Amino acid sequence: MIELFENKSGGDDQQILLEAIWNDESPEINKAGFNKQGLDIYRRNLLANAQRALSISFPTVFELLGSSISKNITYQFLRLSPPSQGDWSQWGKGFSHFISTIEEGYRYPYLADCAAVDWHVHCALHGIDQSLDQSSLQTLVNSEPEHIEIVFNQNVKLLKTHYPLTEIFQAHHHDDELHREVAMIKAQKLLAKESIEQMVMIYRPEFKPEVSTLTASEGAFMLCLMAGNSLEQALNTVKSDRSFSFEQWLLTAIERNLINYFKEK
């Protein structure tokens, strides 16, 4: 068993209690003489709090796996990545990667990407409130595309995946039951295919985060802009796609609250 906790000159009693709660095979437990029933309560509380936190931050993963499996996963993740923020809702940044390393992640290869979507949705839910600075629209009138940069709302995230993440997300979280059923059927069909590629976008129009799929061109265009390139450079990435319209994209982007402001480069 790895020694998780270190002793220091002050606060030995606190370190010993922490170790006794986190490591039930610790040799310190008997020496400290803590009541086993009491320790078990703290152990169960820790696991229950952690499981509750993950179930809130990763609702899709928890629905896909079911609670009995999730308890074991919670325990493993807790040991690997203990909380350090003092706020359970900020715990779980590495959960998607962790999922990709465990048996359930191998068995359901889309699970890790579902966790990544869940995490971005969770972060967007508590993210800073941003909306378009209308006055910055003037930059589009006054400047050439080569000198224009678009700064996105901080709650906008893009994720490239080989799985139908949007459909899986909608199948579990869309408000409308019929929409959920249709999304589930679509997700199952797409999962049966050998290979797909999706660019998924997480964004927050008002308070409720949304998940949608971008076309390849929309994805390439936005990724280029998000890397800090000019509007002209971004437009060059989609010039071969005649169906892409910047004007149409801009209207949708404003409607979806994707843009924080425009600025001159």
Chain residues binding another protein by CB under 8 A are 4-6, 8, 10-11, 13-15, 17-18, 21, 33-35, 37-39, 41-42, 45-46, 49-50, 82-90, 125-130, 207-208
CB of 28 to another protein, least distance (A): 13
> Which one, 101 or 131, has the nearer CB to another protein?
131
CB of 124 to another protein, least distance (A): 8
Inter-residue contact 248 to 132 (CB < 8 Å): no
> Which one, 105 or 209, has the nearer CB to another protein?
209
Query: Would strands 259-264 and 148-152 be described as parallel, antiparallel, or unpaired?
Result: antiparallel
Instruction: Name residue 161's beta-bridge partners.
Output: 198
CB of 73 to another protein, least distance (A): 16
CA angle 214, 265, 202 (to 5 degrees): 25
Closest listed residue to residue 265, CA positions, set 151, 180, 106, 115: 151
CB of 175 to another protein, least distance (A): 15
> Which one, 58 or 249, has the nearer CB to another protein?
58
> Which one, 148 or 258, has the nearer CB to another protein?
258
CA–CA separation, 220 vs 157, rounded Å?
Answer: 13
Closest listed residue to residue 183, CA positions, set 166, 197, 196, 200: 166
